[in-house]
Structure 1
Amino acid sequence: MRMLHTMLRVGNLDKSKEFYCDVLGMKLLRQKDYPGGEFTLAFVGYGDEKDNTVIELTYNWGTDNYDLGNGYGHIALGVDDIYGTCDKIKSLGGKVSREPGPMKHGSTVIAFVEDPDGYKIELIQLGTQGSAKKEAAASV
């Protein structure tokens, strides 16, 4: 078994594709409308679905926002230069909700950004991960 994708319901598919593709550098892998169900699926990621886990953006026609609730955490992306990545995200109009720096109670350097619907994406500076299991639990 392997992970295939994570699904996020989005209120504006164009804004979400722009964020994930133009701001975070993913590629639109495929998109299909389902008129009978009144929804559109768009799959984005850093590589093809055969070898990579991707994100499924689900747009339910006529629904422009969702209550994110308190159960959702975040998606994590590893980056080589967290400070430069955050600067680039801000320059492209993205929202950095937690500036880069060491996490509380650990040494891993992290930052958080938010997509147009408010979903959190954690950026992790590669090579700074301490005891990943302990630190991941502490960052929640």
Structure 2
Amino acid sequence: MTFTTESHPGVRAEMPAATRGFVLNHSMLRVKDPAVSLAFYTGVLGMRVLRKLDFPEMKFSLYFLMKDDDAAAPDEAGERTAWTFSQRGILELTHNWGTENDPDFRYHDGNAQPQGFGHICFSVPDLAAAVRWFDNNQVAFVKRPEQGKMKDVAFIKDPDGYWIEIVQPDLLTGLGRS
């Protein structure tokens, strides 16, 4: 038998037929300064920008980023937009124009009180090498892999203070086992 889902209170064992084809496409983070955030996500985490969409009447821009080194996106902008919205694991950075010019402007990171949003996560092939890379790029750590009760998991911060969990999948096989 093939695994479909764990069973917990509230979990529906059968996928509703009407949801076939649904894809979790993207998560969105608001950013104060797109140049700073794009430098971090492309230069430190190796993502690429698939598409930028500007909305002058509402004074904001959207940047869609992906971390899939082999995905071949179409060259034509309209086709690339449609392709972007069909993918999995996209990060949308939303910039409300003018925030970059306000030195006191900050977004809530979701981890300060009252807590809400927590983090996004990147899996890496070598956690120790990733930690060295982050150190070499002066990335702020919330938690290093050797700190705290949960070992082999790191948390870094992006330029807006959002937490990013960093994991090496093969180090986590014992998680949740007593």
TM-score range, shorter chain: 0.7 to 0.9
Normalised by the size of structure 2, how large is the TM-score?
0.67
List alignment gaps of at least 5 residues for structure 2. 1-21, 72-83, 101-105
Contact 2:53–2:62, Cα closer than 8 Å, also in 1: yes
Q: How many residues align?
A: 132
Distance 1:125 1:101 in 2: 13
Residues 46-55 or 36-45, more deviating: 46-55
- Listed as ranges, the matches of 1:66-77 within 5 Å are 66-69=107-110, 70-77=115-122
> Residue 97 of structure 1 aligns with which residue?
142
Distance 2:63 2:53 in 1: 7
The answer to which structure has the higher strand fraction is: 1
Q: Deviations over 1:31-62 (max 9, x none)?
A: 12110010010011113534431100000012
> Residue 6 of structure 2 aligns with which residue?
none
- Listed as ranges, the matches of 1:1-140 within 5 Å are 1-47=22-68, 49=84, 50-64=86-100, 65-69=106-110, 70-101=115-146, 104=149, 109-130=152-173, 134=176
Contact 1:79–1:124, Cα closer than 8 Å, also in 2: yes
List alignment gaps of at least 5 residues for structure 1. 136-140
Distance 2:109 2:121 in 1: 17
Q: Give the greater-gyration-radius structure (CA).
A: 2
Identical positions, percent: 35
How far off its partner does 1:89 sit? Answer: 1.6
Normalised by the size of structure 1, how large is the TM-score?
0.84
Q: Secondary structure at the match of 2:171?
A: coil
